[in-house]
Amino acid sequence: RKEVEQDPGPFNVPEGATVAFNCTYSNSASQSFFWYRQDCRKEPKLLMSVYSSGNEDGRFTAQLNRASQYISLLIRDSKLSDSATYLCVVKYAQAGTALIFGKGTTLSVSS
């Protein structure tokens, strides 16, 4: 079983749509959680951290359920520029450990 699992998609939505991505992680020692965005042939860029209480950044809302080992990302009012691959990422508690990436979910927003 992979450490971080995501539905690869693709999700094809019109502008203005709301879309949700899910992610599960297998290692309960995971301590920190993030969503990254990766554009084609580019490095991943941090979109937002994910906290147990849930957090929002503009049109983006992230949720974490530690009991279910489940992370979600909600994008409201999708823009064309949101088209990218969204990577679910976890990190263990020890300092200096690597980020563990999911395979990513591809989003395509069309006009």
Partner 1 sequence: GAVVSQHPSRVICKSGTSVKIECRSLDFQATTMFWYRQFPKQSLMLMATSNEGSKATYEQGVEKDKFLINHASLTLSTLTVTSAHPEDSSFYICSATDNYGYTFGSGTRLTVV
Shortest approach of partner 1 to residue 34 CB, angstroms?
Answer: 9
76 binds partner 1 per the rule CB under 8 A = no
Which parts of 85-104 interact with partner 1 (CB under 8 A)?
A: 87, 95-104
One-character DSSP codes across 46-62: EEEEE-TT-EEETTEEE
What's the burial of 22, exposed, middle or buried (CB within 10 Å: 0-12/13-18/19+)? middle
Residue 21 · residue 86 · CB < 8 Å: yes
Write the binding mask 35 to 64 for partner 1: x where contact by CB under 8 A, - elsewhere: ------xxxxxx------------------
**Residues interacting with partner 1, by CB under 8 A?**
4, 8, 41-46, 87, 95-104
